[in-house]
Amino acid sequence: MAERSWSLGRALRGMFVKPVIDENTWEDLETALLTADFGPDITERLLEELREKVERYRTTDPRDLQRMLKETLEEHFAAFDTTLRLTERPAVVLVVGVNGVGKTTTIGKFAHFLRRYDRSVVVGAADTFRAAAVDQLATWAERGGAAIVRPQQEGQDPASVAFQTVEYAKNTGTEIVLVDTAGRLHTKGGLMDELGKIKRVIEKQAPISEVLLVLDATTGQNGVMQAQAFLEHAGVTGLVLTKLDGSAKGGFVLAVQERTGIPVKLLGQGEGIGDLTGFTPHVFVDALVS
């Protein structure tokens, strides 16, 4: 993987070419981790674990510290199962999150990602209050090679669109259903009730395989606070971090997992149709540290 904006590589480079580990090394490492948005708690824990390892192995070689950093990060990431569960037929995925985080774009990219694995996909436009949102989703669905089920009129009950989308999948043998939902924050209570209803209606027809909460990585910890209601009420099973391109916050991926207890399952790294990847911890840590 080429060097990304969120890679620690540049920040660490000077540190690991020094002849020996000294107090400056630790200070530089702390600054690098905090800058990458690991957050103070995780940064402190990582530094403690690393100091312990350095002592245990009686090394003063910064290259050993680099290896240990990689190992330690991998251990932390490995605590989460980042695999997408899409084995049901149809596999129904509900995509939730506040407006502007990249939900619609993610659905288009995800459809494209699944099409590359030869999966048939239908998207459901259950954000029925803005006609523009439906049109935007239709454009992305087309680019992603997915069918779309639209509301028959503006403001149609979102749960009924979700129902029709699952029905479409069952009737046509479509393998994956991606349901877009509304993200209006000012009607939080109403929105959570709406999501609850969508879930109940879908579950009458098919189990829900994943509820993916989309978070904008550039907003970091604030984004998590904004999404708290979804975390509390929507039964989230996985996170999608968007806009990681152009963000220096690679550490946020671990911070958000530890803070919410929910694994990151997809990463969005650009506005192009191909800019979504599954989340493979060791590949990510490799790119983060090297």
Q: Detail the residues annotated as belonging to a binding site for GTP.
A: 97-104, 180-184, 242-245
Greatest pairwise CA separation for the chain in angstroms:
70
Q: Toward ligand GDP, which CB reaches closer, 15 or 148?
A: 148
Task: Give yes or no for a contact between 90 and 177, defined as CB atoms under 8 angstroms apart.
Answer: yes
Location of structure tokens 């090297």: 290
Which spans of this chain sit near ligand GDP (rule: CB under 6 A)? 97, 99-105, 183, 242-243, 245-246, 268-271, 275
Give CB contacts under 8 A, 24+ apart, made by 254-258: 254/38, 254/42, 254/73, 254/76, 254/77, 255/37, 255/38, 255/39, 255/42, 255/220, 255/221, 256/215, 256/224, 257/77, 257/80, 258/42, 258/76
Binding site per annotation, positions: 97-104, 180-184, 242-245
| Smallest gap from residue 105 Cβ to ligand GDP (A) | 3
For the CB of residue 18, give the shortest distance to ligand GDP in the complex, in Å. 35
**CA contacts within 13 A on the Cβ side of 189:** 0
Q: Which sign, positive or negative, has the C-alpha torsion 131, 133, 134, 140? A: positive
Q: Least distance (Å) from ligand GDP to the CB of residue 216?
A: 8
Alpha helix segments (H runs only) across the chain: 9-16, 23-35, 40-56, 62-77, 103-116, 131-144, 158-172, 188-203, 220-226, 228-233, 252-260, 281-289
Of 69 and 227, CB closest to ligand GDP: 227
Give the nearer residue to ligand GDP in terms of CB position, either 49 or 245: 245
Nearer Cβ to ligand GDP, position 130 or 197? 130
Q: How far apart are CB 243 and ligand GDP at their closest, in Å?
A: 4
- Between 199 and 243, name the residue whose CB sits nearer to ligand GDP: 243
Provide the minimum distance between the beta carbon of 214 and ligand GDP in the complex, in angstroms, as a whole number.
6
